[in-house]
A and B are shown apart, each in its own frame.
Chain A
Amino acid sequence: MTNNAKTSFETIFEQFQSIVDNTIPEQYKPLLAHLNEQGLFYQQFIQSLNNKEADLSSFWALPNSWGDNGPAAEHTNDWFKLFFALNASSANSEPPSIDTAWSLFNQPTQQTVESLKALQRAFVDINQLHTELGQLALQRFEKLQQAVDGEPTEAQSCKHWLQAGEETFKKVTQTEPYLDAQKRLFEALKQLKTQQQAFATQLSQQLGLPSQQTIDDLKNALHQLRTEFAQYKEHTEATIHRFEQRLKKRH
C-alpha cells in the first residue's frame, strides 16, 4: 500500500466521518463506519492492482482483517491485541515491551520475566508465520489471476483475493509451527496471569484491600445464594401447582 494512496483514502475517510457525524442517527454510525472501512480496503486493493504494485502481500496481513480502527491503518499488532484483550479491560495496540510490562510489577520475579520473554518469543513466531501467510497468499493469488482467460476483472480479482487468503490461512494455521506457537502464547499468558494474581494478592495485603480470594469467596457465596433461592422458588411453585391440581380434581 503506497503512502499516496493512504493519504487519499484517509481523506475519503475523514469526509465520510464528517457526513456521518452531522446527519446520521447514532445507531447506524458504527455499522456504516465498519462498512466504509471495508469498502476502502477493497478500493486500496484495486488501486494497488491498477498501479501494478509488485508486493501486495500486506493485503493478506491478518491484522488488517480484524481492523475496526480506520481505513488505512497498519494494524500490525492486532493479533497481539486479541491476546492482551483477554487479560486487560482496555486493549493495548502496541505489544508491551519487557520494560513497559515491568512497570506493572514492583519487583518483577525471575518467573515473570521468563513468562514475558516466552510471550514475546511466541508472538514474534506467530507474526513471522503471518508474514509468510501473506506472501504465500500472494503467490496463490497470482496463480489464480494467471489462470483467467484474458484480463481478470475487479470482481474476479477480489474473488481471487478471498480464495487465496482463505486457502492459505487454512493451510498455515493448521501447521505444527503455528499450532505450537499458539500453544506457547497461551501457556505464557496463563503463567503471566498466575504471577499477576500473586502480585495482586501481595499488593492487596500491603494496602489492606480485600484479596482476590476474599472476592472469590463472596462471589461464591452470592452464587450459592442465588442457586438456593431459585431452587426454593421452583420447589414452592411446584408444590403450589400440585395443591392446585389436587383441589381442582376434588371439585
Chain B
Amino acid sequence: MPAFKPSNKNQWQDDFALLLERFKTFDEQPDLSVGDSQKTLIHQENKLRLFRYSARQVKQKKTPVLIVYALVNRPYITDLDQDRSLVLRLLEMGYPVYLLDWGYPDSSDSLTDLNDYINGQLYRCVQQVKRLNQIKKIDLLGICQGGVFSLCYSALHRSDIRKLVTLVTPVDFHTKDNPLSLWTQHIEPTALINTTGNIAGDTVSLLFKTLKPYQLNRDNYRQIEHLNKNKRALEHFLRMEKWLRDNPDLAGQAAVEFMHSFYQQNKLHKGQLSLADQAVTLANIQCPVLNLYAKLDHIVPPSSSQALAQHINPELYQEHALEGGHIGAFTSLKTQKKLTSLLVNWLS
C-alpha cells in the first residue's frame, strides 16, 4: 500500500456533529418544501394533473409554455425552490407557464401505454391550455423523456405547437457513449415488472445510480462542510435528496414499450416508430425546435440529443450546450442565467 498522510482530525465527523445541532433547534431547521410556486389545478384525469402557475406582475406574453417532464421522478424539479426554478424564471419573463404532472401510477394503471400518454393525456392537456388561452398553438418544453414525448407529439399534432424546446432529450439511443443504452440492450424489460404490473420507482432509481455507482451513492455525500456555512446550500442539498428519493412507479406497459422501442430498437431515430398505427416521423415537425443538451450528461449523452439535427429542417433548428449534468443543466445557479436567456430569446 502506498504511503498515506493521515489528517490530525476527523473533519467529516465534526461537520456532521455541527449539522445535527442545526436540526435540533426549530429556528435553524432547514425548509424542505418543494414546488411551492403558486399554482392552480386546471385539469385532472386519473392520476394526471395539469397546473397553471400564477402570473407575475410583468407584461404577459401571448403564447403559453407547457412543461412536460419525464415519467421517471417528479416534475417539481422544475420548481425546486425560489432560486432554482425554471418555472419562476419563465414567469418572471412574462410567460404563462403550465406544468403537466403525470402522478404516481398504481396497479390499475399498468396497462397505460405510450399512445395513452402521448395521444391521450398529453393531447388533452394541450387542448386545455389552448382553450384557456384562446389560442391555436402553444409552446412545448419537454425535459428528458418528456422531451421525447414532446417530439412525438409535435410530429403527430403539428397544428398544435408553435415552438418546441427539448431539454436533455435523447433522440439516438444507440450512440457509443451511452452506458444506459448498452445495458438496456441486455435487459428483458418484462423481467423488471413487479406484482403490481408496474416497474418500481426504486428499481429505476437504482438503475440510474448504477451508471455512476461510486459517485452517486457515495461521493456526493463526502464533503458536507459547506452545508454548515450556508443554510440555503443545506436546504438545496436536502431538497435535491428529497426529490431523488421521490420515485413514482412506471406504468408497466408504457415502460416496457419505451425500453423496447426506444432503448433497444432505436425506432424514433430510425424513423420506425408508430403510435396507434400512426408513423412518428421527426422530419414531419414543422415548428422551430430549440434543442438544449448538457455537456456532462451521463444519462443522455450530448451525442444522443444532438442527433435531432439529422431530422429537423436546419432552418427551423437550433441547438445549444449547457454546462453541467442531466439535472444541473436546468437547476444549477450557474447555468440558469444562460438557460433563461436562451429560452427567452428563442421563444420571443
Contacts and interface: CB of A to CB of B under 8 A. Distances in A.
Contacts of A36: 16
A157 B133 CA distance: 57
Nearest to A193: B191
Contacts of B107: 219
Given A42-B222, A43-B13, A162-B214, A183 B111 contact: no
Given A38-B218, A38-B222, A222-B108, A32 B23 contact: yes
Nearest to B131: A241
B166 to A, nearest CB: 25
Contact of A166 (B206, B215, B224, B238): B215
B86 interface: no
A179 B181 CA distance: 12
B183 A173 contact: yes
Given A39-B13, A189-B191, A166 B7 contact: no
Given A86-B194, A220-B111, A49 B224 contact: no
Interface stretch (B96-104, B167-175, B196-204, B323-331): B196-204
A157 B65 CA distance: 47
A249 to B, nearest CB: 12
B40 interface: no
Contacts of A35: 16, 19, 221, 224
B277 interface: no
B132 to A, nearest CB: 10
B202 to A, nearest CB: 7
Interface residues of B, number: 69
B2 to A, nearest CB: 4
A65 B217 contact: yes
B187 A182 contact: yes
Contact of A227 (B120, B187, B215, B218): B120
Contacts of A187: 188, 191
A231 B45 CA distance: 10
A203 interface: no
A238 to B, nearest CB: 6
A199 interface: no
B214 A223 contact: no
B230 interface: no
B110 interface: yes
Contacts of B209: 66
A113 interface: no
A190 B12 contact: no
B187 A186 contact: yes
Given A27-B32, A219-B107, A220-B111, A43 B2 contact: no
Contacts of B270: none
A249 B23 CA distance: 61
Contacts of A43: 10, 12-13
B55 interface: no
A220 B29 CA distance: 47
Interface residues of A, number: 78
Interface in B175-226: 179, 182-183, 185-188, 190-195, 197, 199-200, 202-203, 206, 209, 212-215, 217-219, 221-222, 224
Q: What's the dominant secondary structure at chain B's contact region?
A: helix
A140 interface: no
A165 interface: yes
B316 interface: no
Max chain A C-beta neighbours (<10 A), residue from B24, B214, B222 = B214
A185 to B, nearest CB: 9
A230 B120 contact: yes
A211 B168 CA distance: 43
B163 to A, nearest CB: 23
Contacts of A241: 131
A221 to B, nearest CB: 10
A25 interface: yes
Interface string A99-143: 000000000000000000000000000000000000000000010
Contacts of B109: 223
A24 to B, nearest CB: 5
Given A186-B186, A190-B190, A165 B206 contact: no
Contacts of A62: 213
B79 to A, nearest CB: 19
Given A66-B217, A152-B3, 11 more contacts: A12-B13, A23-B24, A38-B217, A82-B203, A86-B203, A142-B2, A182-B186, A223-B111, A227-B116, A233-B45, A237-B131
28 contacts: A12-B13, A24-B23, A28-B32, A31-B241, A34-B241, A38-B221, A39-B221, A41-B218, A42-B12, A46-B7, A50-B6, A66-B206, A82-B203, A146-B2, A152-B5, A153-B5, A154-B5, A154-B6, A166-B212, A166-B214, A173-B179, A174-B179, A174-B182, A179-B182, A179-B185, A189-B188, A222-B108, A234-B124
**The 10 A-B residue pairs with the shortest CB-CB distance in the complex, in nearest-first order:** A38-B221, A151-B5, A165-B214, A145-B2, A183-B186, A190-B191, A189-B191, A65-B217, A223-B111, A65-B213
Interface of A: 12, 16, 19-20, 23-25, 27-28, 30-32, 34-36, 38-39, 41-43, 46, 49-50, 52-54, 56, 60, 62, 65-67, 82, 85-89, 142, 145-146, 150-154, 157-158, 161-162, 165-166, 169-170, 173-174, 179-180, 182-183, 186-187, 189-190, 193, 219-220, 222-223, 226-227, 230-231, 233-234, 237-238, 241
